[in-house]
Chain A
Amino acid sequence: MRSESAVLSCTNLAKSYGGVHALVNVNWELRAGEVHALCGENGAGKSTLARICCGITAPDAGELRYLDRRVKWSGADKARRAGIGIILQELDLFAGLTVAENIALGNARLEPQNWIARSALDQAVRRVLQDVCLDVAPSTLLGRLSVSQWQLVAIARALALEARVIFMDEPTSALTDDGVERLFELIARLKARGVAVAYVSHKMTEIFRISDRISVLRDGAMIGTEARERTSIEKVIQQMVGRPLAAVRAGAVRRGGGEPVLVVEDLTSRWLRNISFRLGAGEILGVAGLVGSGRSELGRALFGMSRRVGGTITVGGCPYQAREVGEAIQRGLVLVPEDRRHGLVAGMSVRENTTLACLRSLARAGWIARDREAAAATGVLALCRTKRANDELPVAALSGGNQQKVLLGKWLLTRPRIAIFDDPTRGIDIGAKDDFYRLMVELAGGGLGVIWISSELPELLANAHRVLVLHEGRCAGLLDAVQATQEQIMRLATGHPN
């Protein structure tokens, strides 16, 4: 299957982690000057394949060829020096180093200059920063930058390698729409220079916009590679899940809007300015906004995790101070955070994670009643349709979607009235997303007030009743989700209402 222009190719790659097959006999090649998308559900093996190609992980079997030579990377630095760059999903940068130092690190061309000719280094760094349109001084400490700026630094670092191959693992997850556009321009320029770009993403629209060829992985096996013109979003999704999927939920049963359970008036904090809205029992209120618009901050402020400067909040008719998390939970507010690592304790079992928030109700005088605990966990996890071998497994052994359900189950056990979800479907696979939508609609149907912060507008428009749009910490609009369009929301979110 190797063609003339392949820069990087792998034959019969296999990798397993403790009995779980992450990759099974994968054949794949990357050609010079192409953008090649890697698709697949979480756990399909996309990241493992990328990591093996970049020398981060060693394969159990199979052959890797780079520039027509058989290679065996002994570490990521070897691959990097040979010209293979990777931009990881979890950014491997150092907050305590400057932008220039981060970019020079492990770069055979720039690293020596870090010692000898600082100005030459700064110049080289300025050039790549310009390439990614990031306007910061090379001597800025990385820790002072925002998450989306980190992402750009990571991309700049890969550029500075003058790599022939660049892997990008979900590079747009932390970027604003503006940043995504710039990234796509950059990818086009790289392509023109003959660089091969392997693009790992969940976002179908992005993939179909920029890629030349698309490979689909499922359960560690390569399902197939197709030129973009010869395939379609539906076909790729079908290949990813192995079965045709019901269309995006077209207009869930939207009743909602009962008695107001939450009334927010003029909520102001460090990042928020005069936010006001009401949430009815059984209502799903979507919150949209760009990264940095204050949408996550709104969730944190309501959950008592950041200081409120002004405004009043009423929960179920009584004033609510939102000073600490304990108070929030007691008043029936819960938050499923953006980062799953903030919600789950990896080394604890599924059962222990599920009951962590409601242990007091399952204990007498500090002693945990084990039978009641196990029954409570099993019950609520069944309600959330969590797939797991048993409740005693470490929660880290579950897939992303099921981890999210454990987190949801944990909060349901505290009998909340208002649930705040911060980008709950981020990074979970399509099947699990669908499941999650159904669950949210069901819970709202049962009278739960839901605040759903999301970066994916279609899911908000399909499931929410109303959408609150934030722009720079202010409320830019409150729309009826049935009538609103994506364009309308984006205009409000970017501050161009007309």
Chain B
Amino acid sequence: MPSRVWNYFRHHGRPFLGLALVFALGVVFSPRDYAGNLIFLSVGNLTDVLLQQSEIGIIALAMTLVIIGAGIDLSVGSVLACSASMAALLLVRWTPGLAVGPQMAVAAGAALLTGATIGAVNGLVITRLGLQAFVMTLATMIGVRGLTRWLTGNTNIDFGFGEMASARFSALFSHKPSVIIVWVLLAIVAHLVLTRTIFGRYLRAIGENEQAAIYTGLPVRTIRFVAYTACGGLAALAGLIHAARSHQGNPNDGVAYELDAIAAVVIGGTALAGGQGTIVGTVTGTLILGLLTNMLRLRMIDSNLELMIKAVIIIVAVWLQRRDRASNSSL
């Protein structure tokens, strides 16, 4: 058993080293509170990081699957906004005379279904009409943003307070322990799907060598379709959390989230060319980005500097992984 852990670390360890490094820097540069404790290391701060990163983190899980299948999904940011706005509309503007609980369920369900449907449309067009994933999801990214603004009249829909459905929804979906647990559970499920199931094995085979997958008779289209649908669904779930945390449905939110999610995936060692990647790496990549932001903000460092540092981290992380791969020969 220890040797298996060691083996895993040896092959997929780079992201962990990065995480350890960022964590160490966070400790070193952390300001202290009145009692002299490191603010960075306080439980409140670290769990805040997890909560802040949960949206990108959940999207990145599904993005990992899509990318391992040699695809990409640029529409997740728009889907997040669409889901958030849809939930807000159904919670605030809709008065069906339902009890608070059922209304919340309908709102959440409708938002998730919308996200999954958008993902399914992406999947169908990419696998059946043969459009490139980049092009198709770029189109949905633009189109869904437009749809969301049109539905909401391009205005924020603010949540209410007290016993209103929107207020209860907001409290539930931004409840720190619940959100973190959902993220962790989803990560475990995604990890098991990727490593232990037929779906995961097929996905890796398709992503690495589509020709071989076709010659082996694998259901290439179905597998890709499922990956895109899951991506839409999880982006919508992230949208619910986003709405709850920001206490509103804002049709203009979630811009460039797709890029953050892709950055987390890539830092985690997943190859954009497909076939290779891990969920553990993606979670690590998400945490690296989150801790970095947190560390700099605790020091009140200009957020533009933060972007520059992120850029360097992405380049270095991917460069290190490239060097690893270069030593592997191919067929």
Contact = CB atoms under 8 A, between A and B. Distances in A.
Partners in one complex: yes
A368 B193 CA distance: 10
Contact of A326 (B199, B201, B217, B331): B217
Contacts of B198: 359-360, 363, 366-368
A423 interface: no
B323 interface: no
B219 A345 contact: no
- Interface size class on chain B is 20 to 34
A325 B214 contact: yes
Interface string B37-70: 0000000000000000000000000000000000
A396 B330 contact: yes
Interface stretch (A137-145, A336-344, A381-389, A441-449): A336-344
A329 B217 CA distance: 7
Interface in A318-366: 324-326, 328-329, 335, 337, 340-348, 352, 356-357, 359-360, 363, 366
Given A342-B211, A347-B275, A356 B218 contact: yes
Contacts of A410: 216
Given A18-B327, A325-B217, A357-B216, A341 B199 contact: no
A356 B208 contact: no
B11 to A, nearest CB: 11
Residue among A18, A346, A396, A403 facing the most chain B CB atoms (10 A cut-off): A346
A359 B212 contact: no
Interface in A29-79: none
Nearest to A358: B216
B329 A345 contact: no
Nearest to A403: B331
A333 B230 CA distance: 34
Interface string B202-221: 10110011011111111100
B10 interface: no
B276 interface: yes
Contacts of A326: 217, 219
Nearest to B213: A345
B208 A348 contact: yes
Contact of A337 (B196, B204, B215, B217): B215
B277 to A, nearest CB: 11
B197 A348 contact: no
A343 B329 contact: no
Given A326-B217, A356-B216, A368 B196 contact: yes
Contacts of A341: 209, 211-212, 331
Contacts of B208: 345-348
Contacts of A366: 197-199
A346 B330 contact: yes
Contacts of A328: 217
Given A348-B204, A359-B201, A17 B209 contact: no
Interface residues of A, number: 35
A370 to B, nearest CB: 8
B329 A397 contact: yes
Nearest to B211: A342
Contacts of B216: 325, 343, 356-357, 410
B328 interface: yes
Nearest to A324: B217
Contacts of B330: 346-347, 396
Interface in A97-125: none
Contacts of A345: 204-205, 208-209, 212-213, 275
B215 A342 contact: yes
A394 interface: yes
A374 B196 CA distance: 13
Interface string B303-331: 00000000000000000000000011111
B196 A342 contact: no
A356 B201 contact: yes
Interface of A: 17-18, 305, 324-326, 328-329, 335, 337, 340-348, 352, 356-357, 359-360, 363, 366-368, 370, 394-397, 403, 410
25 contacts: A305-B214, A325-B216, A325-B217, A326-B217, A326-B219, A341-B212, A342-B215, A343-B215, A345-B205, A345-B212, A345-B213, A346-B208, A346-B330, A346-B331, A347-B204, A347-B276, A348-B205, A357-B216, A363-B197, A366-B199, A368-B196, A368-B197, A395-B331, A396-B331, A403-B331
Interface of B: 196-199, 201-202, 204-205, 208-209, 211-219, 275-276, 327-331
Given A346-B208, A346-B330, A348-B208, 16 more contacts: A305-B215, A324-B217, A325-B216, A335-B215, A341-B211, A341-B331, A343-B216, A347-B275, A347-B276, A348-B204, A356-B216, A363-B197, A363-B198, A366-B197, A366-B199, A394-B328
